[in-house]
Amino acid sequence: AIYLGRGATNLADPAACAAAVLAHRPDVVINAAAYTAVDRAESEPDLAHIINANEPGAMARACADLGIPFLHISTDYVFDGSGTVPWQVTDPIAPLGAYGRTKAAGEQAVRDAGGTHAILRTSWVISAHGNNFVKTMLRLSENRDALSVVDDQIGGPTPAGGIAGALLTVARAMVAGQGGGTYHYAGVPAASWACLARETF
């Protein structure tokens, strides 16, 4: 396996990302890179679009040229967040902000590339690494006696390791000849942000 980290490619240069795929000629590509600063995307929509839409589109086209599967991580932010039941793959998307719009555009760019692909929409990613809700709650609790956390948003906290395992399973199946598509992957049980904060503490 070849892992290209942030220092190996410039995500703001889709052509360079595609060139890296063509240079390494792998059996399958998993794209876990994204512009994930949801709030900041509102003030940097062009950069978010390059990284979340143009970059996966360029890589997916390179994979299509090589005849190899391309796996891409997307998000529940392609939906509008309304309703009280889990989203289905067939539900119409309606992103509300720049981040969701750029991720939706990335999904379409991957589909438009014409190659074999899988899009994995996920949500509420948690990990011991990077920035995420659990780490933020732990950091804030060091300096505050109490925190206010919303209790009216429900989701499935999803371990990053679980996402990685799911992607590897899908990648092996696709290399063996299985088709792709769009899938939803979220942790269980569902919880509110407040519930997740309580469990974190």
Q: State the catalytic residues.
A: 99
3-state secondary structure of 131: coil
Longest dimension (CA), the chain: 56
Q: Give the whole-angstrom CA distance, residue 55 versus residue 15.
A: 8
Q: Give the whole-angstrom CA distance, residue 103 versus residue 130.
A: 19
Question: Could you give the angle at the alpha carbon of 180 between the alpha carbons of 22 and 99, nearest 5°?
Answer: 75
Sheet-wide strand order for 181-185:
29-31, 70-75, 117-122, 181-185
Give the ranges where the chain is alpha helix by DSSP (H).
Answer: 14-24, 45-49, 55-66, 98-112, 133-141, 160-175, 193-200
